[in-house]
């Protein structure tokens, strides 16, 4: 068995306490305002924290009319940090949670959403500027079993596919480990980052999906068609509805209940690939993708029967050229 680079899923510490003045200076007039939007009572410690940060309570248009009315979750999405423009929902949420952890109830979960994200992050710290019409949001989950963390990105990717299909999108599939493609073009991406605190892992998940911007790739509304476009708020609400029970089942039973659906909805069944060697000058090795390994890796086998486990954090996948490459 060959394993490629073990990822560091635990003990990652992110962010610093945020101030509203640190937001993008070239944003819209409301961009320096952060709002806590809720459809349930805000716990007293959260309200006190928001007051010290000058975070206002507000009924922001799209959330009040096309998000909360569609939301059927118990917890996820009931409290939303919102700003018209943010550098990064991921960064703001991580910094906010860092401050809230000592006093927040154990079951309190924030979602952070902005219509305009200027300095978003992808895997490997790749920058990502979200254009108009792109939905970008982040939320947090908590786990006690660190070995389950590599699978969460797969769970999230599957939830995005299920949500897209809920709205009638066809030809939507997963590119390992956590990109969503439609008709050969990227539709969405996922970023999961974790840190360990007081006996549990806090996993921050960031999602970006093209809802109504058909260029430069494709978008959900182009796939769906019809006369009534899907709004960003509606997609986010339905995603929360779909993901929350999936996560609960995942915590009880692991990835097993979802693995077949994940591989049924990915682009790699029996795909022939070339695996780059560990050292410069080593020949590439031909292999066939078999599925996921028990540890959350991409599993491939060579013609000679050699098995390869390829970690998401240690390898990149040039899907269109069938090449799995080491990350430097």
- Give me the pLDDT at residue 121, please: 57
Q: How far apart are the first and last CA of the chain?
A: 22
**C-beta of residue 220 within 8 angstroms of C-beta of residue 207:** no
Residues paired with 168 in a beta bridge: none
**Dihedral sign for Cα atoms in the order 311, 314, 318, 323:** negative
Per-block mean pLDDT, blocks of 10 residues, the chain (328 long): 38 29 34 82 90 80 87 96 90 89 83 84 57 91 93 98 97 94 94 89 95 90 91 97 98 97 95 80 86 90 87 66 62
d(CA 35, CA 285): 52
pLDDT given at position 147:
92
**The whole model's pTM is what?**
0.86
CATH topology of domain 2-264: BirA Bifunctional Protein; domain 2 (3.30.930)
Find the DSSP H helices in the chain: 44-52, 61-66, 89-100, 149-166, 220-224, 232-253, 256-264
Position 128 scores a pLDDT of: 57
């Amino acid at each position: 068995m060959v394993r490629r680079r073990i990822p560091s899923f635990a003990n990652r510490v992110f962010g610093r306490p945020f101030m509203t003045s640190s937001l993008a200076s070239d944003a819209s007039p409301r961009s320096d305002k952060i709002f806590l939007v809720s459809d349930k009572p805000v716990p007293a410690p959260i309200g006190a924290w928001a007051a010290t940060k000058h975070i206002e309570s507000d009924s922001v248009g799209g959330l009040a009319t096309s998000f909360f009315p569609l939301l059927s979750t118990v917890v996820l999405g009931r409290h939303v940090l919102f700003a018209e423009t943010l550098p990064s929902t991921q960064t703001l949420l991580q910094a906010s949670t860092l401050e809230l952890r000592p006093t927040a109830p154990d079951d309190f979960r924030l979602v952070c959403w902005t219509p305009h994200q200027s300095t978003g992050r992808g895997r490997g710290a790749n920058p990502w500027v979200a254009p108009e019409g792109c939905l970008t949001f982040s939320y947090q989950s908590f786990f006690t079993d660190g070995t389950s963390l590599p699978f969460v990105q797969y769970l999230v990717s599957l939830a995005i596919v299920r949500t897209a299909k809920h709205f009638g999108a066809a030809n939507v599939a997963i590119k390992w480990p956590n990109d969503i493609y439609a008709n050969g073009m990227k539709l969405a991406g996922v970023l999961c980052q974790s840190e360990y605190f007081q006996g549990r892992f806090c996993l921050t998940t960031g999602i970006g999906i093209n809802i109504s911007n058909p260029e430069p790739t494709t978008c959900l509304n182009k796939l769906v068609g019809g006369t009534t476009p899907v709004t960003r708020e509606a997609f986010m609400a339905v995603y929360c509805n779909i993901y929350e029970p999936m996560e609960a089942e995942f915590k009880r039973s692991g990835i097993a209940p979802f693995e077949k659906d994940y591989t049924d909805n990915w682009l790699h069944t029996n795909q022939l690939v070339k695996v780059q060697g560990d050292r410069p000058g080593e020949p590439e090795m031909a292999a066939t993708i078999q599925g996921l390994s028990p540890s959350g890796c991409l599993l491939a086998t060579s013609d000679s029967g050699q098995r390869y486990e390829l970690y998401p954090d240690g390898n990149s996948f040039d899907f269109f050229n069938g090449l799995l490459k080491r990350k430097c």
